[in-house]
């Protein structure tokens, strides 16, 4: 009985230690990426492309969260801060597509067809950043997402070798969304440490080319 109690105590200590380390990782990422984070379009440095990170689709159109991210990328494009927009998200099934509705939204906003790139295999933030660097060969990017998500995305992008900046999209994150960043940040650090290669890569598609070739 005593050994069982000791095992439970040690397990509790281990879980608490992991939780604390994950929390410190999330805080460390936020502090490290603060100098590269912007809330004003006019202050953001120029880059090759804006990256819109995927979010949910509601009845075939971008959710408010995703629409805010797209609006941020449109503002950067219209201001001449970027020449291309890369929409990356989950299109792993015919019944679920995060990228095509955004492509339509961007076209309606007046973005040139050739400047819109779609990454259909951005199944998580790490995969999106890895593919932006290695498949789309982006050297400099402006990542557009909400505040709760941006530090982790920036941290990954910069540690994968891109010159990356962040633009904070409109929308207040919930308490749950900020809390989810704690384990997600730990996972991101592990992915970087192990140099995980995403399952889906494919042919190289330079971000300097014609984005419409990536639509289908």
Percent of the residues in the chain that have a pLDDT greater than 70, as a whole number: 88
Q: Where are the alpha helices (DSSP H) in the chain?
A: 2-33, 64-78, 100-108, 125-134, 150-159, 175-194
Give the whole-angstrom CA distance, residue 197 versus residue 50: 23
What integer pLDDT is reported at residue 26 of this predicted model?
A: 78
What 3-state class would DSSP assign to 93? strand
35-86 per-position pLDDT tens digit: 999 999 999 999 999 999 999 998 889 999 999 999 999 999 999 999 999 9
Give the whole-angstrom CA distance, residue 163 versus residue 48: 10
What integer pLDDT is reported at residue 65 of this predicted model?
A: 95
Domains detected in the chain: 2-214 (3.40.50.620)
Task: Read off the pTM.
Answer: 0.88
What integer pLDDT is reported at residue 90 of this predicted model?
A: 83
138-187 per-position pLDDT tens digit: 999 999 999 999 999 999 999 999 999 999 999 887 888 889 999 999 99
- Judged against a pLDDT cut of 70, whether residue 22 lies above it is answered with no
Average predicted confidence (pLDDT) for the chain: 90
């Amino acid at each position: 009985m005593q050994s069982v109690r000791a095992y439970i105590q040690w397990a509790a200590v281990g879980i608490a230690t992991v939780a604390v380390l994950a929390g410190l990782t999330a805080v460390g990422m936020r502090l490290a990426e603060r100098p590269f984070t912007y809330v004003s379009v006019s202050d953001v440095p120029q880059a090759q492309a804006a990256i819109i990170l995927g979010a949910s689709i509601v009845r075939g159109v971008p959710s408010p969260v995703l629409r805010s991210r797209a609006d941020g990328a449109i503002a950067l494009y219209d201001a001449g801060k970027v020449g291309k927009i890369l929409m990356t998200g989950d299109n792993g099934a015919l019944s679920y597509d995060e990228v095509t509705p955004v492509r339509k939204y961007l076209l309606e906003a007046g973005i040139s067809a050739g400047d819109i790139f779609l990454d259909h295999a951005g199944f998580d933030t790490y995969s999106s950043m890895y593919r932006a660097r290695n498949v789309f060969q982006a050297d400099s990017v402006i990542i557009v997402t909400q505040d709760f998500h941006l530090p982790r995305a920036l941290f990954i992008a910069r540690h994968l070798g891109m010159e990356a900046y962040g633009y904070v999209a409109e929308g207040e994150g919930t308490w749950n969304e900020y809390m989810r960043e704690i384990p997600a940040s730990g996972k991101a650090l592990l992915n970087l440490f192990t140099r995980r290669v995403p399952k889906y890569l494919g042919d190289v598609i330079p971000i300097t080319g014609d984005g419409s070739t990536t639509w289908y």
